[in-house]
Amino acid sequence: MRASLSCQTGGRVCRRSGALQRSAVVVPCGRVCARGRAAVRVRAEAPRDGSPTVVKEPPTKAPATAPARTPLAPPAPASAPTPAPGPQYFPQPGDPQWPPQRAFAAIALDNLLDSVVDVGRHLGRMNVETDKLTMRQQEQLVPGDNGRMRLRASTKPVVLVLGSGWGAHSLIKVIDTDTYDVVVVSPRNHFLFTPMLPSTAVGTVEFRSLLEPVRTSNPCVTYLEAECDSLDPHSKVAVCTSSFAYDDGRRPQFEIQYDKAVVAVGEQPATFGVPGVREHCFFMKEVSDAVALRKRIAEKFELASLPGTSEEDRKAALHFVVVGGGPTGVEFAGTLSDFVREDLKKKYPALMKYVKVTLLQSAQQILTQFDAGLGQRAAEALESSGVEVRTGVRVVEITVNKVMLKGGEELPYGVCVWSAGNAPRPLVTQIASRVPEQAAAAEAIKAPPNAKLCVDSFLRVVGATDLLALGDCSLVLGNRLPSTAQVAGQQGAYLAHLINSKYQLGVGGYTQPPPFQVVKRNKLQALQAAAEENAVLSWLAGAMMGGKTRIQASKEVADALFRMDAPPWVRVHSESLTKAMPLDVDAPPGGTKVVCDISAVMAAAAASGGADPAAIARASADCLRSIEEEQLKAREGAEATEVRYWDRPFEFLSLGIMAYVGNDKALTQVEAFDVINLKLHGSVAFLLWKSVYITKQVSFRNRVLILFDWMKTRVFGRDISLF
């Protein structure tokens, strides 16, 4: 139990405390309640057997001294002290969640309102004059002191964005470039709609229909086509190297001093140590992968059609192996079967008996993200389209013309596509190694060290200051999210709104204060003075709130209630900035708290006229008044009068998952509002898949291009030109 802080006047208590652990001593405190100030707690220990508290009378010969204010004595050490608990990185089961979790409808409403603001900001950028953009982009890099080039000095805070994928693109679209100087560094100067990348590898959709250049996404950002080699989270400096070289082979290198940074570099294909994967397999990460894969498919058909080619060579050349039964592998196998059945069959009819598509999956089911029933439906749909689905097999090696399986089986192949998983990029490993808290946080959730950047519920990198991470390269502690484009896109928009709010990010971590905004005392005084000069505002304040005194009292009550509900680390942070009197009885770690000692109060009362109730009340009031005056003076001298905290942690709003399985069939699984559980498969799901993918395009231009591509494919077929 805890001692309560009470100030009683006429039976009214101004402030309450948490659960009682020690008995409360209520003393009258005169004008304390009327002035809206909480009195200091008076502490008296309660017997452990549960009997009433007894305050012993002091000795009759007491020294005539003023009531003493003594620090609380630390508790006596136990005979067998328990070791101090380690740092907490995420809420444990049973811990109260703060800020409280919001309902699905509230999240959806906030996202809708944010989208309205984002549309207005995006439309405003369309009127940016060309000469302003020219001035913005002149002399971006200037010589630095260490031999490297550096980003030119900026009059606005610099926000560094690393990457141009789903998360970075969503952030770039929304971020306020009037407030911040936004610098985007990425080796890829465009955004790619990756879910439709398998369609480009077979010619259903053209490559450029899925792209949007970064400079088109937001013409007001500074884009540098380079790769970030290292980032120092302590000095806030990123070192980058250009993606291109001069004629003599030199690659420009430069550094960027940032105020806030967002790491959105994603991940790279994982080989899991299987020999030959990088040398002989195709990936599905970039446009260049799809271009090379499309060319290789055409080459294999032309090779197999040459006269004199043996049947064994034709079977091997036209055997297409897809390793990985996730959405990417399944969609490519489905689209490839469509390409063979609808287009190549008309051009190479004699080769159709040699064509074979095989999907290999190490797990016992494909599409493990979906319901087991939908996964089985997907396997049946693929097999009906001519795709051989093999589950529970493991690839141990890839040679130039064979896939080696565990157990000794060999599969001759012509084209092998690897989509078995992702691995961290070197930059993520480098940043995680520079922050000691990252290894401890990964160990706490039993995750591989330095594989991802551990972030808190506000997407701040744990242990780093003003550093954010999102997408596949991040791991939200206590709330593992799927590695999907949907998650990354929502995280990018969320961080853009957080940065636009101008809140201070602070240090990342569960036990660190959330992003906050300090209301300066001079600004508040200026606003109050302006309100007092306005007769209408003054009348409204008096009529609606009861006057200046009641407004001040209500503000302090609201502040006290907020700190009572907030976790200890937020409470301590707020009290340190505003100099508000702590609510806790126990002294903060490493410090002491000054309170009125009940024995000293009674001794002073006895020395000045006896230990009758009136004397004790006078002595208590004098002690409380002196402490109150010191507290009031300290609070008035504080620079901050109020601390506002960002109360919207990232909450993923799942809109469902989809996958195309070939032959104009798809899977759709939607779970929302805790009551909607929609599971579709077949042609209806395919129509929903097409409608969602066309509406999720990032621009009207992309929607028009994809619609025309689908129309051309339906009327004229897919192009099989080789160049």
| Mean pLDDT, contiguous 10-residue spans, the chain (723 residues) | 39 36 37 36 38 40 45 47 60 69 77 81 69 57 66 81 96 92 95 95 94 92 94 95 92 92 96 95 95 95 94 96 95 96 94 96 93 93 95 96 95 96 95 94 90 95 96 92 92 95 93 86 53 61 57 62 76 79 53 56 66 71 72 64 86 89 93 75 94 92 96 94 85
**Same fold for the domain at 104-269+424-501 and the one at 287-420?**
yes
Question: What pLDDT was estimated at residue 4?
Answer: 39
Alpha helices in 126-206 (DSSP H): 130-137, 166-174, 197-201
Closest among 490, 417, 534, 446 to 649, alpha carbons compared: 490
Alpha-carbon distances of 411 from 209, 215, 416, 674, rounded to whole Å: 35, 45, 11, 46
- The per-residue pLDDT for range 43-93, each reduced to its tens digit, is 333 344 444 433 344 444 444 444 444 444 444 454 445 544 567 777 766
Other beta carbons within 10 angstroms of residue 345's beta carbon come to: 13
User: Distance between CA atoms of 694 and 697, rounded to whole angstroms?
Assistant: 6
DSSP category for residue 508: B
Question: What pLDDT was estimated at residue 48?
Answer: 40
Contacts of 66 (CB under 8 A, 6+ apart): 604, 622
User: Distance between CA atoms of 257 and 245, rounded to whole angstroms?
Assistant: 23
Q: Which fold has domain 287-420?
A: FAD/NAD(P)-binding domain (3.50.50)
User: Distance between CA atoms of 165 and 194, rounded to whole angstroms?
Assistant: 9
- The per-residue pLDDT for range 242-267, each reduced to its tens digit, is 999 999 999 989 999 999 999 999 99
Contacts of 172 (CB under 8 A, 6+ apart): 161, 164, 182, 184, 214, 217, 218, 221, 492
User: Distance between CA atoms of 129 and 577, rounded to whole angstroms?
Assistant: 43
Q: Which pTM does this prediction carry?
A: 0.79
Question: What pLDDT was estimated at residue 8?
Answer: 40
Closest among 288, 326, 287 to 657, alpha carbons compared: 326
SS (H, E, C) 334-370: HHHHHHHHHHHHHHCHHHHHHCEEEEEECCCCCCCCC
Name the architecture of domain 104-269+424-501.
3-Layer(bba) Sandwich (3.50)
Q: Domain map of the chain by residue range?
A: 104-269+424-501, 287-420
- Kind of pairing between the strands at 356-361 and 387-391: parallel
Q: Is-contact 42 32, C-beta < 8 A? A: no
Element (H, E) at 229: strand 222-232
